Amino acid sequence: MDITTLIFIAIGLSMDSFAVSVVNGFYIKELTLKKVVLIASSFAVFQTMMPVLGWFAGGTIEAYIRNTDHWIAFCILIYLGVRMIYNSDGKGNPSSFNKIKYSTIFTQSFATSIDALAVGLSFAVLKVQILGPVLIIGLTTFIFSIAGLYAGKISGRRFHRSSEITGGIILILIGGKILIEHLLMHH
């Protein structure tokens, strides 16, 4: 597989992490370098691990994953989005999401990386060596996540009054996008 194809795959896989990072940047009041590195690393690690798991699993679990992966990601992102909207006070004062909760970052990272598992499965089928591709995917996701956090922070300053509600809606839309994409691909 050529490097250009791998870069486009990495960018495609990074888009959900970028979008969720924008949401995180929206409502995290104090976006320190430590928080940026923590969040970006979490997304990157999951985007790196999932293709490796898919690659090792090969074709053995593909049929099971293919039928449920989009529903799992959809449910997790809908839950997080509804929770953000429900917990907002309508005045742009971030509530439970202002402090970094490892469980929230972990859940977001998992939900946005499920499609990378399928990519790993396809790498196994195509007999692609996994190390180079996952390093490119991980690095791309890390960079896109950092960019998303800062983009969210900048736009969150402008739209601070409704940032948590907007963030919740964006997570719900990302969940819907994942579900629709998978349903359309399998019909």
Question: Could you read off the pLDDT of 7-47 as tens digits, one per residue?
Answer: 988 998 898 899 889 988 987 878 899 999 999 999 999 99
Domain count, the chain: 1
* pLDDT above 50 (res 159): yes
CB contact burial 133-169 (16+ within 10 A = b; e otherwise) = bbebbbebbbbbbbbbbebbbeebeeebebbbbbbbb
The reported pLDDT for the residue numbered 99 is 59
Question: Is this prediction's pTM over 0.85?
Answer: no
The reported pLDDT for the residue numbered 187 is 60
Lowest mean pLDDT among 108-117, 141-150, 156-165: 156-165
Token readout for 43 is 């997304």
- The residue range of the domain holding 161 is 3-185
pLDDT band at 60 (very low <50, low <70, confident <90, very high): low
Q: What is the CA radius of gyration of the chain?
A: 16
